[in-house]
Structures are given as structure tokens and as C-alpha cells.
Amino acid sequence: MSVLVPPIETPEAAAAGAGWPARLHEWVVTVDHKRLGVMYVVAGLAFFLIAGIEASVMRWQLAAAGKTTVSPEVFNRLFTMHGTTMVFLVGIPIVFGFANYLVPLMVGARDLAFPRLNAFGFWAFLFGGLLLYFSFLGGDGLYGAGSAPSVGWFAYAPLTARAFSPGNSTDYWNLSILVMGFGTVATAINLITTTLTMRCRGMTLGRMPLYVWMMLVVSGMTVMALPPLSAAQIMLLLDRFLGAHFFDTQGGGSAIMWQHFFWFFGHPEVYILMVPGFAFVSEIIPVFSRKVIFGYPMVVAASLAIGFLSMTVWAHHMFAVGMGSPLNAAFAASTMLIAVPTGIKIFNWVATMYGGRIRFATPMLFACAFLFQFLCAGLTGVMLAVVPLNWQVTDSYFVVAHFHYVLVGGLVFTIFGAIYYWFPKVTGRLLSERLGRWHFWLFVVGFNVTFLPMHWLGMIGMPRRIYTYPADRGWDFWNLVVSLGVLFQAAAVLVFVVNVAIALRRGARAGDDPWDAWTLEWATTSPPPPYNFETVPVVGSRRPLWDLKYPADPDGPHE
């Protein structure tokens, strides 16, 4: 813990002495965006380990046909909790945690706009997460009525109705996410306000780091897309507790309406998860290629387009539901369209590397793997937009492969890259490059061995969310391969945990700017003092530190 105390002692620490209760108290009452950011990421990583274990148990069961390691009930709870945890308790807190930490520093501010609201957002998230996991303990009662939710992470109606999900397990899912949703919207409001009103002098919108632009887009999407989920969940609450009929098909309600409302949230949600990954690599790739990002205005425009278009594609999750040909075609069109700005960004990143002097430090390794894996994910996404093909592979392991290529091959890889990149800033110490390489290669191998064959399994008929499968379908071999990949991923994560533990104790000192980077967070100490900057900076271009290092050829005139 000692590395995280800033060089200038806070008054509280000075007064209270160095005992652990005092330090714990500091963290619990903090409204400092950097501390809250660290708390978000640490909690998110802890849930990542838990959800990873849930997935590992599932893959153990599916390694061969007819295995009965866990009962059907337990398996169904596992995939529900795995998905719910990864989306709401890992992805969201980590991406917003990073934004918490970085956005004020990158815009030259001393904190977020509403520090206490920030703290509320974190504690709402943590409470929601603990409430969800309390379901494993709470909710005893009738057979099948207690324990963790088992309705899938998107909880389709009417499976979630009282008639088909008795007891309280579904209510844990509903309420915990509802609570967390309020916290997420609060954080998004905080980020938007900070970005629009607290940039330092000279930093016009056109001079913000791409990371800040993309988090602005993400926050805008959050403000518009999270409330529909809350609305649907309130409706589900009313159905389950007060006998309302929103999704009660026996009473005239519509099961499809849940899907529309859920995916109206759900699709922007996956972009809310992925765009921060784009934001990470938009900072990492230029620095390690030693070149300015190619086409900054276009990357901004593409990000805005993605933000807007992501709200128009939701029913591509519903092509098999029977919406009719006109609607199917319309959503196919919008879904294919969103591939264009997404592809543009990939081209911009590659063009940045082109002509550079690429240094393959660990952050860059993860960013490069991201490029290939996300390209694959985007292309399978376009395939899924071809509605007749979608009719074959939706709700199959092909879709599972697609979204894991997005969220693991894309998001998790970029999160690891971001951790290796900004860990020195947060803690003042460098992670080991050697262990980083081991982490990277084990993870790249494990990830692809697990998720690449899943495309094929979907195409040969294996649906998702099944706790076992018959032996006569020809699925055995590839399921075994898929499960073996888990071992490599687990080893990679173990190496990562060891790397972090060692670095915290005796990592090499990082200094202010270990990567020779160009954005404002590198202009202050590592870790930064509570007030971020001794003097609030004034900037004249998109790369203020480049201007300082190369005063003869600043960026401004070129932009």
C-alpha cells in the first residue's frame, strides 16, 4: 500500500498516523477520482477472477458429452452469473474506473465535476455486485426457488415471470443491476460535465486526447441507453411483485417487448464496453509507434458515428423472433452500416503504425493482438448481420465466439494493455516486461484456442446455454479443444497477478513519463498528488508534451 501514498502527505494521513484502520478509512471516505478509479478497477478485476472461475467450471463440464460435474441448475446459474458479472461487474466498472482516473488528468483538471456523486457511483456498483452474489447464499426456500439467478444474463420474458422463475433468484438479478445502473449513469453524467466544462486553458474540444473524446461518446450513450434497461427492470419488478402484465404473455403482455427494451439498452451497452478499448489503443498505439495518430478528426467523427448508430441496430439480436422481412432488412442495413466507422478506426490505427518505429513493450503487444482479434470480431459481426446466416448461427456457439472475440479479444486485451501502460502512473512502479510477455503469449494462445473453434461448433449445430450435449452430434473433439484453452488463459492471469504483486512491492521506479508519451497525465508525478498538477497546464495542441519536448516543431500548425 505504501507506493500509493503520494509524495506530499495528505493532511488526513499526517494527522491520523500510518495505522491500517486510518488508511482504510481514507479509502472508504475518499472522493478523489484517482482513488475511486483504482477502487473500481481493483473490484472489477476481483469479479473478473470470480467470473473466470465460473466459466472454467462450465468448460470443465462441456469438455466431453454427458458430463455431470454440476447439475443442470448449477450450470444454468453459472452461465447467468458469468455473463452478468462480466458485463456489469467487470466491464463497466473497469472502463469507468479508468475514465475516472484518467479523464481529469488528461484534460488538466483537479478532479471530476462532482466528486461526491463519483463516490456514490462506486458504492452503488459495489453494493449491487455484493447483492447479486449474495443470491448464492440468500433466497432459500422452495425447490428451484432459491440461489443465484438462472435466467441468462439477458433474462428474457416470460422465463423471468413468477410462474416460471419462482422464489427470489430473478429478483436478485433485477434489483442488483437496477441499483448499479443508477451508479453508472451518475458516473457518465460526471464525465460529460467534466469534459465539457473543466478542460484546461487552450484545450478546445479539437485538442482533447482521443481517449477523452471516446469516453465522452461512451458517457453520452450511457445516459441514453441505461435508463431503458432500468425502465424494463422496473416493469419486471412490477410484474413480479404487484401482478402487473408488462411481460405476462398469459395476460396479454408481450414477451417481445422485453427483448426490444433490453436490446435497446443491450446493444449500446456492448459499445459502451468496447469503445473504451478503442480509446485505450488510440493512446497506446501512437506512443509505441512513435507517431501521431493518423487522421484524428476522422477517428473522432467515426467515434461519434458509432455512438449514434449503435442506438439504431438493437433488433439484430432478434432476427429469429419473427419481426417480419421489412424490419429484418432494416436492422440488417443499420448493422452493416455501423461496420464502416468501426473499420475506419482500424485503418487509422494501422496507418499510425505504418512508417513508425514500433516498440513492442507489453502494452503494444496487447494492442497488436487486439487489432487482429477485433478485426475477426467485426467481420463475424458483419456475417451475423446477414439475416439468413443469422438464422443459422444466432443463439449458437458462433455468436458466443463472436462476442468473446469482441469482449475478450477486444476489451480484455486492451484492458490488460491499459493496465501495463498506466500502472506506472498510478503506482509509481513499472510492471515486469518479462512477466508481461509470459502473460501476453499465454493469454493470446489460450484465448484463441478456446474461442476460435467455437465459430465452427456453432456452424455445426451446437446451441448456446446447454449444460451438456449428446455424444452423437460430432461436437466432442472441438469442445475438448475449447476447454483446454482455458488452462492457458488461467495460467496467463496467474502470471499477471504475480506480476502485479511483485511490482507493487519492488517494481522499478517509473518516474513521471516512462513511455515518453504526449498527454497531460504524464506531465505530473507518478503517482500524481491529490491535486493532480502543481500548476494547471495550458496547452496549444493535441500533444502538449510533444510540444514541450520538441519546441522547434510543435504539433499546433500541423493540426
Partner 1 sequence: MATAVAPTPSMFAPVSTPAFAIREVSFLVLAIATFIFVVVAGLTVYAIIRYRRRPGDDGREPAQVYGSAQIELAWTVVPFLIVIILFLTTARYIFAIEGRAPTAQALEVTIVGNQWWWEIRYPKLGIVTANELHVPVSDPANPIQTFITLQSADVIHSFWLPQLHGKTDLVPGKTNRTWIEPLVPGTFLGQCAEYCGLQHAGMLLIVTVHPKDEFAQWVAAQQAQAADAPAARAGREVFVSVACINCHTVRGTPANGVFGPDLTHLMSRARIGAGVARNTPENLRAWVKDPTSLKPGALMPAMKLSDDKLDQLVAYLVTLR
Partner 2 sequence: MSSRGRVGMVCLIVAEASLFAVFVVAYLFYLGKSLTGPFPKDVLSMPVLGTVCLLSSSVTVALGARALARGSVGRCGAWLLVTVLLGAVFLAGTAAEWSRLIMREGLTISTNLFGTTYYSLVGLHASHVVVGLVMLALITVFAWSRALRPVHAERVELVSWYWHFVDGVWVVVLTVVYVIGR
Out of 257, 327, 351, 494, name the contact with partner 2 by CB under 8 A.
257
Out of 10, 69, 193, 392, name the contact with partner 2 by CB under 8 A.
193
Report what 231 binds from partner 1, partner 2, none; CB cut-off 5-8 Å by kind. Answer: partner 2
Minimum CB separation of residue 284 from partner 1 in Å reads 14
Out of 11, 17, 21, 252, name the contact with partner 2 by CB under 8 A.
252
Q: Is 225 in the site for partner 2 (CB under 8 A)?
A: yes
Tell me the per-residue interface mask from 433 to 472 with partner 1, x by CB under 8 A, - otherwise.
--------------------------xxx-xxxxxxxx-x
Residue 71's Cβ-count burial label (10 Å; 0-12, 13-18, 19+) is exposed
- Looking at residue 258, what DSSP letter applies? H
Minimum CB separation of residue 75 from partner 1 in Å reads 8
Minimum CB separation of residue 114 from partner 2 in Å reads 6
List Cα–Cα distances, 261 to 227, 232, 235, 264, 359, in angstroms: 10, 6, 11, 5, 45
- Looking at residue 556, what DSSP letter applies? G
Report what 511 binds from partner 1, partner 2, none; CB cut-off 5-8 Å by kind. Answer: none
Touching partner 2, residues 262-301 (CB under 8 A): 264
Check: CB of residue 213 under 8 Å from CB of residue 220: no
Nearer of residues 135 and 352 to partner 1, judged by Cβ: 352
Q: Which three cell numbers stand for residue 553?
A: 516543431
Give the integer Cα–Cα distance in Å for 152 and 138. 19
Out of 289, 414, 427, 479, name the contact with partner 1 by CB under 8 A.
289
Give the integer Cα–Cα distance in Å for 171 and 173. 5
**Of 77, 78, 96, the residue nearest 88 (C-alpha):** 96
Number of other CB atoms surrounding residue 311 within 10 Å? 16
What is the DSSP secondary-structure string of 108-150?
Answer: T-SS-S-HHHHHHHHHHHHHHHHHHHHTTTS---STTTSSS--
Helix (H, G, I), strand (E, B) or coil at 165: coil
Nearer of residues 195 and 362 to partner 2, judged by Cβ: 195
Stretch touching partner 1 by CB under 8 A, among 93-101, 122-130, 194-202, 393-401: 393-401
Report what 3 binds from partner 2, partner 1, none; CB cut-off 5-8 Å by kind. Answer: none
Any idea which residue has 519546441 for its cell?
Answer: 551
Residue type, 513: D
Stretch touching partner 1 by CB under 8 A, among 121-129, 192-200, 347-355, 491-499: 347-355
- Name the region of 509 (left: φ>0; alpha: ψ -120 to 50; beta: rest): beta
Out of 226, 287, 406, 520, name the contact with partner 2 by CB under 8 A.
226
Touching partner 1, residues 394-413 (CB under 8 A): 394-396
Binding site for partner 2 (CB under 8 A): 113-114, 185, 188-190, 192-194, 196-198, 223-228, 230-232, 234-235, 238, 242-246, 251-254, 257, 261, 264
